[in-house]
Amino acid sequence: MATIQKDQVVSFHYTLTDQQGTVIDKSEGQPLVYLHGFSNIIPGLENALTGKAVGDKLNVSVAPEDGYGEYQPEMVQEVPRQMFQGVDQIQVGMQFQAQAEDGIQVVTVKDVTDESVFVDGNHPLAGQTLNFDVEIVDIRAASAEELQHGHAHGVGGHQH
């Protein structure tokens, strides 16, 4: 029976809850599809799935260092409000794309004053221990093209 190894495309259903049991995210209808061994998903989850088979159900607790990292207070930055010209209303919780040294970074508005906007470059799930309820629904070999691109294609994967 096939088990999950590097270079395989894996489909799985999941429910993600935080430490309080609140559902943060879940696969709706379509399973999530990813290429195993290419860091397409967070390391704590990817490692836990290695060696699992279709039909396996597991509960995985992922610590921040194996998930979206520790929360880093220094990643909150004060930005002059005039940088947001063209945005009618800036509200706490809004997300923007910002140009960072290593590519596009998504920042979340933490606070707004008359002169400044405080944006947070931490991943929204940084610092959190994450609980995944997972059910493996499919495992298949990746195509040469998928391996070259480093991600899964087709339904639930990259469409291009």
> Which positions touch Zn ion (CB under 5 A)?
149, 158
Of the pair 13, 158, the CB lying nearest Zn ion is at 158
Q: State the nearest-atom distance from the C-beta of 22 to Zn ion, in Å.
A: 34
Of the pair 110, 158, the CB lying nearest Zn ion is at 158
Cα separation, 62 vs 46, in Å, equals 10
Of the pair 4, 35, the CB lying nearest Zn ion is at 35
Ranked by CB distance to Zn ion, the top (closest) residue is 149
Degrees to nearest 5, angle at CA 65 with 97 and 55? 95
Range 44-81 burial, b when 16+ CB lie within 10 A, else e:
bbbebbeebebeeeeebebebebbbeeeeeeebeeeee
Q: State the nearest-atom distance from the C-beta of 145 to Zn ion, in Å.
A: 7
Q: State the nearest-atom distance from the C-beta of 148 to Zn ion, in Å.
A: 8
